[in-house]
Structure 1
Amino acid sequence: MGNCLSRQDQGTDHTTGELALTTIVPDPTPTVPNTQQQKDHNDRFLVVAIDFGTTYTGYAFSFRHEYARDRLKISTNMWTHNVGLSEKAPTAVLLNKNQQVVSFGYEALRDYAELTEAKKQATFFFFHRFKMNLYTDERLRANTMLADIRGKHVPAIVVFSAVIRYLREHAIDRIRGIDNQLCLDGKHVHWVLTVPAIWHDKAKQFMRKAAEQAGIEADRLTLALEPEAASLYCRYVPVYDSNAISRSCEDLTQPVADRSDNFNYFGPGTSYMILDLGGGTVDLTFHTVRQDGTLQELHPPSGGYWGGTLVDSEFSNLIISALGEAVMMRAHVEYPEEMIEFMSEFEVKKRMFKCSQTVAVQIKIPACLVDLYSDVHGISLAEGLAQHELKGKLSLKRDKLVLTAELVESLFAPSLSHIVGHLIQLLHSEPINRIDTILLVGGYSESPVVKDNISRMFPHIRVINPPDASSAILKGAVLFGHEPYAIASRVCRNTYGIAMQIPYNPEKHSNETCRIFDGMVDDVFDVHLRAGDTAAVGAKVAERDYFIREGTIYGVLDIYVTSNRSPEFVTEAGCTKLGTVTIQTENENKDRSTKIAVRLVYHGTELDVEAREVASGKITKITVDFLG
């Protein structure tokens, strides 16, 4: 790593404690505003948020004047489907042969079913529940490919940007339809796009690139962490004040539930956990409400791939075990629309199922599965299930699969085991062990099985599931667009730094553990942001000085990340190179005297680099490209 910057001191002393971050969105009231900045921001009188989910997706919006009067005056788009309206649509998109959107959501499901029935699907691409590919693909790049339902590949960036573009255009058309005299241009809108907190940096930046490719300008886009957005919304959720209710019981002139003073909000000093239970991921974040109403993060976000789709996977595995892999493979290839309807019906049953339920669950089985089973196995499906190891728990009654309540409840076990186990581990650690309230949000949180299990496992903790838990993230993302400084501080999840060289010192450095290059120790991890440190939003980040190699006119910044709090070298296990930034200087460096002052600025979703050539004052600002 001979091009890395050097420092002329003999050590790598690092300061710890409170670091500082800036936010992605410009401060609505900058400390030193200039006329153009103020004008640009004042043009933005509308915030539109897109919650791009694993299973369901939607958008919401509010005007600045609405936010000023009533912060919860947030409009959500209602999507039409067979049985009514919903705030979100299935994350499904149909593309034509030119990879352009034909339809989205419920319409995409319907259109693809009709194309398949007419045997015209060959020239189309259908993608369903594809978001989690960004989380599971550790080698994610800008040119990563995504397979559709029939195994045909399209660049992932094309699919994601196509969906975001569709939602952007749909939202603009919907808002313009409110008033035909409304003058609405791109400069009037600030966009917010949600991402899971536990996603790696590459996946978060991929979503930003997709949004920019969809026509959203970079400086008019904020990435919001899903549990943080939900937390912002939940600040305004009224909760029962048990003490006030006890006192009001003596007043028989008014029903207890009608008294406004029986409700309270999360005031200053309140600490709570947001447990965001989505379709794909489960995200946990921990906040304290500060005196000024802003939120302070107590612990880095955590979680895993334990959401509602894990229950779906258990159900799919159960059906594969009962019917055979050959049957299921043919069904997905030959009758994809029927299989999607089959899983959609299970989704409904999953949301309604209760722990105390004793009545068996009946799910209509597609005719294709009955026919294919007979074709592959030579016996009827009813006969086959009667001989299967699950007999007595899984059977066929006319055109319905019948699952005992015990069998259905077992499908939740892997997901709940991960969630509860992770909660137990966290709630035994400082400062999380002082939290006495859990807020359940996300679509999966509406499952009675999930709520009952968490309440039963943690009886000493108050568990609150807001009435609109499934839209808390979406509405909170709108709030975040209006108040980008609402999260006052975060806790760094990882350690970020720069690869550098320092002078070799035989008393400190060993030839066995160090790589020596031209009298310098190479590959030293110079820490800028340390895992576990508190990062205060809006404060200035301290610069760190480096010297450029002799005989060059540029400096190379190799940016690294690790979960290790105190790394020594970038070559250690667990250290990953995020990207490289090249700094051009005014003059050739002849004697290692050209000094560069560098600061890393981490927003929770993105990492920026600011480098200043000390002699000339020239400043270079770059966002690190994680995708290569």
Structure 2
Amino acid sequence: MASNSNYLLVAAIDFGTTYSGYAFSMRHSFEKQPMTIHANQAWNAGGKQLLSLKTPTCLLLDSNKQFDSFGYDAEDKYAEIVMDKDQDNYYYFHRFKMCLHKNKKVSLEMLLEDITGKSMPAIDVFALSIMALKNHLMGSLVTQGTGVESSDIRWVLTVPAIWTDNAKQFMRESAEKAGIPKDKLLLALEPEAASIYCQYLPTDKLTGIEPGFTMSEPGTKYMIVDLGGGTADITVHEKLSDGCLRELCRATGGDCGGTGVDAEYIQVLIKIVGAPLIELMKRENPESYLDFIREFETAKRNRPSDNKKVNMIIPFTTLNTLCRTHLKEDFKTAIASSPFSNSIVIRGDKIRIDVKVFKKMFEKTVENILQLIRDIIIFKWKSHARSIKFSLLEAVRREFSNCRVVIPFDPGLSVLKGAVLFGHKSDVISSRISRFTYGISFNPKFDPAVHDKKHRRLSDGVWRCKDAFDKILEKDSVIPIGTTTRRKYTTQTNVSRIWFRKEL
């Protein structure tokens, strides 16, 4: 944890599954106007204009595994490299953050495969990506003439609350390898950062509120639903009289982020032209495939009208050529003979999708998110369920009609800007709920009143219980921030002592 209070600026890096970005604010600005937070607004998306102040989480390395480019630059350059058939001399990684969520054995020795199957240490991929964002931020500070040096910065890196301790530690190690000193580094849990942001946001920047409402009133209990590219992260907070927030139930979530909607979109296309042809476009025409995905990214952020079709520009020439070559029919004919013959049409270089088909792409992901919320309200938080008044999630309006849904202004930057605020005031979270039970395996003297006889073992003339579990912290326990637990253990082979210390 960052212990050095000597800083002039807080810089936060929101490292996402699909998009990443950074934001910062000066210490003196926070003291006078906390919401004066700057985010980069100059990411170059090539020929496409996306409604995002972030850049894709994509990393391109050369044949020596040295940094080449990151973000939109990496996407566009790799598309050219593939067209020149030079991809064997490069490493291209994208959407790799989820490996830390899905892999139960996260370690510093873990390997990652790039898009062509070439592997390298995962920590290098993460460290080089964090370094790219860090260097871009430093360049921006120089351009703006802030006079701030790297040593003047307190850094904050966002991580999902539902990640394991190993995954969170892996991100910390990656940040340190990227050149961020450990005494200047804080990890911010993504839903907590969003919660902090909403505490500072003026009420006129919140939609769904009623006159007189404020998020900062002591005693207010609310659920934060952070919807990212890879995961949904959910936690429940209560505002305390001293201005701090306390967690009311342990963070939960799952892999039901925006990439699930992307996958459904690809499945629609697969039902029209087949998976082999989509893979062929991805390999041989990556620039067209990127345009295809970027256009959907823009479309899925706009709320469609119930009586209109969703229009998107597609790489029609590429798709039509691929269909004629490999399917022996043009793209329009492929659509006409597919399950979507009555719901998808082509007009020039645009695809027009019936709004019902478009909305159906969201159903699975939305249902998974709603189920996570039900689990908290019905099963995991029974004693507080009736106290929930505000949920930051548009999708729950119909499902939970007795809850008020509040959406912050510019929700895509809520976590990022909240992480900056957390960097200035890291003691704002007063307590958390333990997601796991922690303990140590040990071999105490066998006690027939306590231990099962089948675990009895003779060791150095003493009957012991093999692999007993000394519980240090129980799941769902309330943990005040800064809590330290100490236990003393003695080895069986000598008199040396082992001290266990867990900072919570």
Normalising by structure 2, we get a TM-score of 0.92
Cα shift at 1:232: 0.9
CA contact (8 A) 1:233 1:479 kept: yes
Amino acid at match of 1:500: F
1:41 is paired with a residue whose SS is: coil
CA distance in 2, matches of 1:506, 1:263: 60
Equivalent residues in 2 for 1:268-307 (5 A)? 268-307=218-257
Q: Which moved more, 1:263-272 or 1:113-122?
A: 113-122
Amino acid at match of 1:329: E
Name the residue aligned to 2:490: 547
Determine which of 141, 150, 155 is the counterpart of 2:121: 155
2:186 matched residue in structure 1: 222
Contact 1:47 1:62 in 2 (8 A): yes
Q: Distance in 2 between matches of 1:334 and 1:298?
A: 51
User: Can you list the C-alpha shifts for 1:443-466, whole angstroms capped at 9, x where unaligned?
Assistant: xxxxxxxx2x42111121111111
Q: Does 1:25 align with 2:9?
A: no
What 5-or-longer segments of structure 1 have no aligned partner? 1-23, 27-39, 247-261, 441-450, 553-588, 603-628
* 2:428 counterpart residue number: 486
Tell me, yes or no, if structure 1 residue 474 matches structure 2 residue 416.
Answer: yes
Aligned alpha-carbon RMSD (Å): 2.3
1:204-215 equivalences in 2 (<5 Å): 204-215=168-179
Q: Per the alignment, do residues 263 and 287 of structure 1 end up closer, same or farther by CA in structure 2, a change over 3 Å counting?
A: closer
Matched, 1:388 2:338: yes
- Which residue of the other structure, out of 66, 70, 82, is the alignment partner of 2:33? 70
- Mapped contact 2:312–2:352 kept (Cα < 8 A): yes
Q: Summarize deviations over 1:317-374 as a string: whole Å, max 9, x none.
A: 12112111221121111112211110110111111133x5221223333232221222
Deviations 1:400-451 (A, max 9, x none): 33321111111111011111122123222232442110124xxxxxxxxxx2
**How far apart, CA to CA, are the structure 1 residues paired with 2:485 and 2:88?**
57
- CA displacement at 1:160 relative to structure 2: 0.9
Aligned match of 1:201 in 153, 159, 165? 165
1:526 match = 470
Is 1:51 matched with 2:14?
Answer: yes
Read off the aligned partner of 1:383 and give its amino acid letter.
T
The secondary structure found in structure 2 opposite 1:512 is helix
Structure 1 residue 404 corresponds to structure 2 residue 354: yes
Give distance in 1, aligned partners of 2:486 and 2:93: 46
Q: Which amino acid aligns with 2:387?
A: R
Instruction: State the one-letter code of the partner of 1:187.
Output: S
Cα distance 1:245–1:220, how it changes in 2: closer, same or farther (>3 A)? closer
Matching residue of 1:507: 449
CA distance in 1, matches of 2:221, 2:246: 9
Kindly indicate whether residue 342 of structure 2 is the aligned counterpart of residue 342 of structure 1: no
Q: Are 2:194 and 2:415, in contact at CA under 8 Å, matched by a contact in 1? A: yes
| Whole-angstrom CA distance in 2 between matches of 1:195 and 1:245 | 32
1:32 maps to what in 2? none
- With over 3 angstroms needed to count, the CA separation of the structure-2 counterparts of 1:283 and 1:245, relative to structure 1, is closer
Q: Secondary structure at the match of 1:395?
A: strand
**Following the alignment from structure 2 to structure 1, what is the Cα–Cα distance between the partners of residues 244 and 440?**
32
Structure 1 letter corresponding to 2:450 = K
2:261 to 298, 311, 325: 311
Counterpart of 2:43? Answer: 80
Question: Which of these residues, 155, 173, 197, is aligned with residue 191 of structure 1?
Answer: 155
What is the Cα deviation at residue 377 of structure 1? 1.8
Alpha-carbon distance between aligned partners in 1 of 2:308 and 2:79, rounded to the nearest angstrom: 32
Name stretches of at least 5 consecutive residues in structure 2 with no aligned partner.
none
Q: 1:62 touches 1:73 (CA, 8 Å); kept in 2?
A: yes
TM-fit CA distance, 1:96: 1.5
2:191/2:415 contact within 8 Å kept: yes
Instruction: Say whether the 8 Å CA contact 1:503–1:521 is kept in structure 2.
Output: yes
1:269-308: CA deviations, max 9, x gaps? 1111111011111000110011110000000000111111
1:430 aligns with 2:379: no
Between the aligned partners of 2:85 and 2:152, the Cα distance in structure 1 is 44
Task: Give the AA of the match of 2:501.
Answer: R
Question: CA offset at residue 108 of structure 1?
Answer: 1.9
Equivalent in the alignment of 1:559: none
Structure 2 residue aligned with 1:133: 99
Give, in whole Å, the separation in 1 of the partners of 2:64 and 2:175: 19
Q: Matched residue of 1:427: which SS? A: helix
C-alpha displacement of 1:513? 4.8
Residues 514 and 329 (structure 1), Cα distance of their counterparts in 2 relative to 1, 3 Å cut: farther
Q: Distance in 1 between matches of 2:319 and 2:104?
A: 35
Aligned match of 2:80: 114
| Number of corresponding residues | 493
Partner of 1:575: none
1:379 is paired with a residue whose SS is: coil
Q: Which has the higher contact order (CA 8 A, sep 6+)?
A: 1
Q: Residue 503 of structure 2 corresponds to which residue in structure 1? A: 601
Amino acid at match of 1:436: K
2:271/2:338 contact within 8 Å kept:
no
The residue aligned with 1:357 is 306
Instruction: Determine the C-alpha separation between the residues in 2 that align with 1:597 and 1:489.
Output: 25
* Contact 1:238 1:263 (8 Å CA) reproduced: no
| 2:279 is the alignment partner of 1:329 | yes
TM-superposed deviation, 1:85: 8.2
CA contact (8 A) 1:361 1:403 kept: yes
Letter in 2 for 1:544: R
- Aligned-partner Cα distance in 1 for 2:350–2:457: 68
Judge conservation of contact 2:19–2:55 (CA < 8 Å) in 1.
yes
Structure 1 window deviating more from structure 2 (329-338 vs 272-281): it is 329-338
The equivalent residue for 2:108 is 142
Identical aligned residues as a percent: 37
Q: Letter of the aligned partner of 1:531 in structure 2?
A: K
What TM-score does the superposition give when structure 1 sets the normalisation length?
Answer: 0.74
Distance 1:538 1:549, change over 3 A: same
Check the 8 A contact 1:25/1:484 in 2, yes or no: no
Q: 1:515 to 1:468 in 2, by over 3 A?
A: farther
Q: Is residue 407 of structure 2 the alignment partner of residue 465 of structure 1?
A: yes
- Give the number of the structure whose alpha-carbon radius of gyration is greater: 1
